[in-house]
């Protein structure tokens, strides 16, 4: 695991957090308690109106809880000045909300400027963040409307990271992008998170996105009541009840395979046979199964890298994939 | 005397009247921007206050200008002062209303992103809402200018400055020598001044609006 760059994440702890709006019989969020471990991505997933966004916004106090306590790194956030508190938390929303009248560098650099950083330090930070989110350095001088939606959301993520927060809140950040861009942004974000190791609360209604992004997933019922809070693998293997199972939907076994990287599977030695299909060790068991079905072969060779000149390091057959689906990540 | 001859012989007075007309309009707009934008900033968040500000400034606009100028003689006497006050009053509605609408209609996502990153309400107003509402506010300034540049002519009735003097002089002795030329000079001068003023303001609007939100 590489050393995190910048400030690492802090643990977030919610205890009996409730939000009631005046004039409404039912609370919007009822007595939620959960621990979000430092440096992990926790996904809140649930249907629209279940209170997942409300729960998230109580962490940065854009919505004030009616009762309960929220701590970050042991500090009760309700004792802090709300604006000061939010400066320690990156915030990314689906509508992005870039400032259209400011150049990209001023969008990213606004918070550092408010915090009184020197101009040269801000410029260096902007350059560093643009590189981190995979945008060319000369985009700093552009205006938001000159960027595509996907590029804008990369700037949104860079802006949220600008003042090096320990915590990031992300509300359906990739929800408004097309499926291909979304997949791209998700992968880039996972790579970026391996570098920055922030504590991330990620809200989505898309369970497949939750599986992909989350170190842990909290499946929420209405009023933000937690139906199950566990790792993606554990939720797929043993959904707590029918409600959670309905979220997993059809194809649960395939989803489980999609979480399993071939590098985590104990491979069989490579047979001498020529002409077998090849797949990189970075791919998932689901990709391998797809390749087997596509090529009509029940064995595939696993290589250490992409490309034709990669070295074969083992093989995988259909029985091993079935074993993996059954929960034994290894040679049957 | 033909119209051209009249212009040639009286150009010093005419230019002088035009400059004074321009000055009193510009002065009134400057004061109205400070009051109108300030009023808008104070009221946009509260729908009742915002409605009150719009209806009040709107009501001013319904008072006939001759009546208003007459009323203003009592506190301010004759000359430039009552004209200035009257023009400010007439300029308020478009500026105030456009400020309120402009500030209210800033994309909520921009405001949420700003609040979420820890900008104070004051900073959100000055750094985000005002610059984004600026094109709308400035459109109000242009409408106000067009309205009061015409009304300023009536200022001559209380011995105010400007091209209105040409019109009132001419009308006062209509049929006499050069009376028609005077009325024409005043009227055409105001139209020309209004066009040039608006052109200049369009340039200012462009210069003061961020390239990121320019149409």
CB atoms within 10 A of CB A35: 14
Yes or no, beta carbons of B110 and A97 under 8 Å apart: yes
Please give the torsion angle defined by the CA atoms of residues B9, B12, B18 and B22, in that order, rounded to the nearest 10 degrees. Answer: 170
Which secondary-structure segment (H or E) carries A230?
Answer: strand A226-230
Which of the two residues, B5 and A265, has the higher pLDDT score?
B5
- Verify that A204 and A282 share a domain, yes or no: no
Question: Chain centroid to CA A297: how far?
Answer: 34
Percentages of chain B per state (helix, strand, coil), in multiples of 5: 85, 0, 15
Yes or no, beta carbons of A84 and B118 under 8 Å apart: yes
Yes or no, beta carbons of A100 and B127 under 8 Å apart: no
CA–CA separation, B120 vs B114, rounded Å? 8
- Verify that A211 and A64 share a domain, yes or no: yes
B110–chain A Cβ distance below 8 A for any pair:
yes
CATH code of the domain in which A319 resides? 3.10.580.10
- Residue A303 clears pLDDT 80, i.e. is over it: yes
* Tens of pLDDT, residues A26-38: 999 999 999 999 9
A74–chain B Cβ distance below 8 A for any pair:
no
Please give the torsion angle defined by the CA atoms of residues B37, B38, B39 and B41, in that order, rounded to the nearest 10 degrees. Answer: 80
- Residue B75 clears pLDDT 70, i.e. is over it: yes
- Residue A100 clears pLDDT 90, i.e. is over it: yes
A160–chain B Cβ distance below 8 A for any pair:
yes
- Verify that A269 and A173 share a domain, yes or no: no
Average confidence (pLDDT) over A137-142? 96
* Cα distances (Å, whole numbers) of residue A193 to A188, A280, B12, B113: 9, 23, 74, 21
Sign of CA dihedral B4, B10, B13, B16: positive
Cβ atoms of B50 and B43 within 8 Å: the answer is yes
- Residue A18 clears pLDDT 60, i.e. is over it: yes
- Supply the pLDDT for residue A17: 97
CB atoms within 10 A of CB A288: 25
Residue linked to tokens 């990031």? A168
Average confidence (pLDDT) over A294-313? 84
- Supply the pLDDT for residue A331: 39
Residue A61: band (very low, low, confident or very high) from pLDDT cuts 50, 70, 90: very high
Residue in A closest to B123 by C-alpha = A114
Closest CA to A302 of A255, A328, A332, A264: A264
- Supply the pLDDT for residue B198: 96
Residue ranges making up the domain that contains A291: 261-325
Mean pLDDT (chain A) is: 90
> Which residues have CB under 8 Å from B47's CB, separation 6+?
none
- Supply the pLDDT for residue A118: 96
- Verify that A98 and A145 share a domain, yes or no: yes
Residue in A closest to B128 by C-alpha = A99
- Supply the pLDDT for residue A251: 80
- Verify that A171 and A136 share a domain, yes or no: yes
Q: Which of A223, A255, A287 is the last residue of a domain?
A: A255
Domain range annotation of chain B: 3-208
Is A331 contained in some domain?
no
Q: Taking the CA of residue B187 as centre, how many other CA atoms within 13 Å lie in the half-sphere pointing to its CB?
A: 9
- Verify that A157 and A267 share a domain, yes or no: no
Is A20 contained in some domain?
yes
Question: Chain centroid to CA B138: how far?
Answer: 11
- Supply the pLDDT for residue A327: 64
Give the closest-approach CA distance of B38 to chain A in angstroms: 22
Contacts of residue A111 in chain B, CB cutoff 8 Å? Answer: 117-119
- Verify that A225 and A308 share a domain, yes or no: no
Q: Pull the structure tokens for residue A138.
A: 């000369």
Sign of CA dihedral A116, A121, A122, A123: positive
Yes or no, beta carbons of B132 and A100 under 8 Å apart: yes
CA–CA separation, A112 vs A253, rounded Å? 46
Q: Which CATH class is domain B3-208?
A: mainly alpha
In this predicted structure, which of A69-73, A134-138, A325-329, B15-19 has the lowest mean pLDDT? Answer: A325-329
Average confidence (pLDDT) over B49-58? 95
Contacts of residue A110 in chain B, CB cutoff 8 Å? Answer: 117, 119, 127
Q: How many CB pairs under 8 A join A and B?
A: 79
B105–chain A Cβ distance below 8 A for any pair:
no
Contacts of residue B111 in chain A, CB cutoff 8 Å? Answer: 97
- Verify that A191 and A310 share a domain, yes or no: no
Closest CA to A30 of A224, A226, A229: A224
- Supply the pLDDT for residue A1: 46
- Preferred mutation among A87, A100, A109, A147 to probe B, highest tally of B CBs within 10 A: A100
* Tens of pLDDT, residues B149-194: 999 999 999 989 999 999 999 999 888 888 999 999 999 999 999 9
Average confidence (pLDDT) over B57-81? 93
DSSP secondary structure string, B136-195? HHHHHHHHHHHHHHHHGGGGGGGT--STHHHHHHHHHTTTSTTHHHHHHHHHHHHHHHHH
Average confidence (pLDDT) over A179-202? 92
Residue A264 three-state SS: helix
Residue in B closest to A143 by C-alpha = B212
Residue A86: band (very low, low, confident or very high) from pLDDT cuts 50, 70, 90: very high
Tell the burial category of B73 from Cβ atoms under 10 Å away from its Cβ (0-12, 13-18, 19+): middle
- Verify that A249 and A309 share a domain, yes or no: no
- Supply the pLDDT for residue A332: 34
- Supply the pLDDT for residue A330: 41
> Which residues have CB under 8 Å from B213's CB, separation 6+?
A100, A101, B132, B135
Contacts of residue B115 in chain A, CB cutoff 8 Å? Answer: 62, 86
- Supply the pLDDT for residue A5: 66
- Residue A301 clears pLDDT 60, i.e. is over it: yes
- Residue A49 clears pLDDT 50, i.e. is over it: yes
* Tens of pLDDT, residues A140-185: 999 999 999 999 999 999 999 999 999 999 999 998 888 888 988 9
- Preferred mutation among A56, A97, A108 to probe B, highest tally of B CBs within 10 A: A97
- Residue A306 clears pLDDT 90, i.e. is over it: no
- Residue B103 clears pLDDT 70, i.e. is over it: yes
Which of the two residues, A140 and A264, has the higher pLDDT score?
A140
CATH code of the domain in which A71 resides? 3.40.50.300
- Verify that A84 and A214 share a domain, yes or no: yes
Is A75 contained in some domain?
yes
- Supply the pLDDT for residue A252: 78
CA–CA separation, B81 vs B84, rounded Å? 5
Give the closest-approach CA distance of A91 to chain B in angstroms: 6
Tally of structural domains, chain A:
2
Average confidence (pLDDT) over B32-49? 97
DSSP state of A138: G
- Supply the pLDDT for residue B120: 95
Yes or no, beta carbons of A110 and B212 under 8 Å apart: no
Residue A320: band (very low, low, confident or very high) from pLDDT cuts 50, 70, 90: confident
Is A7 contained in some domain?
no
- Residue A262 clears pLDDT 90, i.e. is over it: no
A143–chain B Cβ distance below 8 A for any pair:
yes
- Residue A3 clears pLDDT 70, i.e. is over it: no
């Amino acid at each position: 695991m590489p050393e995190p760059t910048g400030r690492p994440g802090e643990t977030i702890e919610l205890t009996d957090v409730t939000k009631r709006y005046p004039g409404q019989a039912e609370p919007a969020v009822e007595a939620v308690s959960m621990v979000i471990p430092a440096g992990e991505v926790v996904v809140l997933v649930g249907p629209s109106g279940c209170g997942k966004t409300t729960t998230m916004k109580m962490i940065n106090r854009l919505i004030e809880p009616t009762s309960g306590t929220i701590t970050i790194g042991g500090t009760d956030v309700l004792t802090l000045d709300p604006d000061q508190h939010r400066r320690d938390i990156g915030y990314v929303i689906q509508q992005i909300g870039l400032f259209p009248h400011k150049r990209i560098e001023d969008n990213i650099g606004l918070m550092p400027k408010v915090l009184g950083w020197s101009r040269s330090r801000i410029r260096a930070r902007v350059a560093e963040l643009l590189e981190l989110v995979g945008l060319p350095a000369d985009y700093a001088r552009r205006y938001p409307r000159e960027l595509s939606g996907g590029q804008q959301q990369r700037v949104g993520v860079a802006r949220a990271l600008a003042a090096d927060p320990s915590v990031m809140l992300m509300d359906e950040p990739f929800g408004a992008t097309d499926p291909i861009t979304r997949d791209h942004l998700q992968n880039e974000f996972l790579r970026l998170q391996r570098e920055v190791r922030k504590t991330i609360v990620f809200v989505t209604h898309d369970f497949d996105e939750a599986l992909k992004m989350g170190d842990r997933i909290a499946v929420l019922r209405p009023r933000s009541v937690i139906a199950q809070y566990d790792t993606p693998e554990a939720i797929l293997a043993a959904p707590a009840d029918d409600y959670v199972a309905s979220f997993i939907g059809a194809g649960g076994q395939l989803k489980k395979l999609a979480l399993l990287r071939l590098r985590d599977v104990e491979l069989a030695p490579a047979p001498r046979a020529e002409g077998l299909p090849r797949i990189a060790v970075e791919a998932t068991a689901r990709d391998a199964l797809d390749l087997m079905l596509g090529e009509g072969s029940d064995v595939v060779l696993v290589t250490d890298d992409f490309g034709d000149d990669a070295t074969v390091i083992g093989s995988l057959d259909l029985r091993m994939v079935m074993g993996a689906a059954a929960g034994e990540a290894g040679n049957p | 005397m033909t119209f051209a001859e009249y212009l040639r012989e009286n150009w010093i007075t005419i230019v002088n009247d035009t400059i004074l007309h321009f000055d009193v309009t510009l002065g009134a707009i400057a004061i109205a921007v400070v009051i109108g934008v300030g009023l808008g900033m104070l009221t946009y968040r509260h729908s009742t206050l915002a409605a009150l500000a719009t209806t009040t400034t709107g009501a001013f606009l319904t008072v006939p200008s001759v009546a208003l100028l007459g009323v203003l003689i009592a506190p301010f006497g004759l000359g430039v002062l009552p004209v200035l006050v009257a023009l400010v009053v007439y300029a308020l509605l478009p500026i105030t209303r456009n400020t309120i609408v402009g500030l209210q209609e800033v994309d909520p996502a921009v405001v949420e992103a700003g609040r979420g990153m820890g900008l104070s309400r004051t900073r959100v107003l000055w750094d985000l809402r005002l610059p984004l509402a600026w094109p709308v506010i400035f459109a109000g300034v242009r409408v106000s200018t067009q309205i009061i540049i015409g009304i300023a002519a009536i200022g001559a009735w209380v011995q105010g400055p400007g091209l209105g003097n040409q019109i009132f002089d001419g009308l006062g002795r209509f049929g006499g020598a050069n009376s028609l030329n005077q009325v024409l000079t005043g009227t055409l001068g105001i139209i020309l001044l209004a066009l040039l003023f608006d052109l200049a303001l369009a340039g200012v609007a462009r210069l003061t609006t961020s390239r990121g939100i320019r149409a």
